[in-house]
Chains A and B, each alone.
Chain A
Amino acid sequence: MEEKNQHEGISLVDIIRLLFKKLWLLIIVTIIGGVLGGTYAIRKTEDINYFGTKVEFYVNPEKTKDGTTVVGNSQYGIYGAYGSHIMDTMTKRLNSDVFAEYLLLDGEELPAKDHWAGGEAGETLNAAIDAASGYVVQKQEAQAAVDAAILAQTQKKTAYDSCYQTVSVEWSKLLIQGLTTSATFDEAEYYRENLQGKNPALDIAITAWNQARYDLTDAQANVLAANTALGVAERAAEGPINTVLSLWRQTSKYKSALSSIKGATDFSFMDASVTVDDVNKLARSFIYAKISVLNNQPYANDVLRRVLNGVPSFVEKYMFIPEGYDTTNCVLNTTVNDIHLTNPGYTTNQAIKTGLLLGGMFFVIACVVLILLDRADKRLRDYEALAARIDVPVLGVIPSIPFSDAKHHARGQAEEHAEKMAQQAEKENAKKEDE
Chain B
Amino acid sequence: MGWFSNLRISFHDWRARRNSQKNRSHRTEYLLNKNTPFTVTEAFRSLKASLSVSLPKRDGGVALMVTSAYPEDGKTTVTTNLALMFAQSDAKVLLLDADIRKGRVARYFKRKSTPGLSDYLSGQNTLEEVIHRSHINENLDYLTCGTHSPRPYELLESVEMTDLVKLLKTKYDYIIIDTPPVLLLSDALAIAPDTDGTVLVCRHEVSYVNDIVRALNVLEFSKVNVLGVVVNDHKKSKSGKYYGGYRKKYYYYRSYDYTYGSTDPNKKDDEPTK
Contacts and interface: CB of A to CB of B under 8 A. Distances in A.
Residue from the set B25, B50, B233 with the largest chain A CB neighbour count within 10 Å: B25
Which interface residue of A3, A13, A398 has the most chain B CB atoms within 10 A? A398
Q: Which 4 A-B pairs have the closest CB atoms?
A: A396-B47, A395-B228, A17-B239, A393-B228
Interface in B28-51: 28, 30-31, 33, 35-37, 39-40, 43-44, 46-47, 50-51
A303 to B, nearest CB: 63
B31 A399 contact: no
A383 B44 CA distance: 17
Contact of A392 (B36, B135, B216): B216
B234 A409 contact: no
Contact of A1 (B26, B217, B232): B217
* A interface majority secondary structure: helix
Interface string B224-252: 00111111111111111110111000100
20 contacts: A1-B216, A17-B239, A21-B238, A379-B205, A380-B206, A381-B242, A383-B229, A383-B231, A383-B234, A387-B229, A389-B209, A393-B228, A395-B50, A396-B46, A396-B231, A398-B40, A398-B43, A398-B44, A400-B234, A402-B37
B226 A392 contact: yes
Interface residues of B, number: 61
Given A401-B37, A406-B25, A412-B35, 17 more contacts: A11-B241, A380-B202, A380-B205, A380-B208, A380-B212, A387-B229, A393-B228, A393-B229, A395-B47, A396-B44, A396-B46, A398-B231, A399-B233, A399-B236, A401-B30, A401-B233, A409-B30
Interface of A: 1, 3, 11, 13-14, 17-18, 20-21, 378-384, 386-387, 389-390, 392-403, 405-410, 412-413, 417, 420
Contacts of A394: 228-231
B17 to A, nearest CB: 16
A401 B20 CA distance: 12
Nearest to B81: A398
A390 B216 CA distance: 9
Given A396-B44, A399-B39, A399-B43, A14 B241 contact: yes
A213 to B, nearest CB: 107
Nearest to A396: B47
B23 interface: yes
Contacts of A396: 43-44, 46-47, 50, 230-231
Interface centre among B35, B37, B229, B236 (most CB of A within 10 A): B229
A414 to B, nearest CB: 9
B232 A398 contact: yes
Contacts of B210: 378
B33 A413 contact: yes
A405 B37 contact: yes
B110 to A, nearest CB: 6
Contacts of A383: 204, 229, 231, 234
Interface of B: 23, 25-26, 28, 30-31, 33, 35-37, 39-40, 43-44, 46-47, 50-51, 54, 74, 78, 110, 135, 199-200, 202-210, 212-213, 216-217, 220, 226-242, 244-246, 250, 274
Contacts of B228: 392-395
Given A381-B242, A396-B44, A398-B78, A403 B26 contact: yes
Nearest to B210: A378
B62 to A, nearest CB: 15
A383 to B, nearest CB: 5
B40 A401 contact: yes
A14 B37 CA distance: 29
B209 A379 contact: yes
Contacts of A387: 229
Contacts of B43: 396-399
B33 A412 contact: yes
Contact of B239 (A1, A20, A379, A380): A20
B181 to A, nearest CB: 15
Contacts of B23: 403, 406
Nearest to A384: B245
A417 B74 contact: no
Contacts of A409: 28, 30-31, 33, 35-36
Contact of B242 (A382, A406, A410): A382
A398 B28 contact: no
B104 to A, nearest CB: 15
A399 to B, nearest CB: 5
Contacts of A17: 239-241
A326 B204 CA distance: 95
A381 B243 CA distance: 8
B54 A395 contact: yes
Contacts of A382: 241-242
A6 to B, nearest CB: 11
Nearest to A383: B231
Nearest to B73: A380
A384 B248 CA distance: 14
A384 B204 CA distance: 12
Contacts of B207: 379-380
Contacts of B74: 398
A417 B110 CA distance: 9
A110 to B, nearest CB: 81
A381 B35 contact: no
A410 B28 contact: yes
B195 to A, nearest CB: 15
Contact of A397 (B54, B135, B231): B231
Contacts of B31: 409, 413
Contacts of B204: 380-381, 383, 400
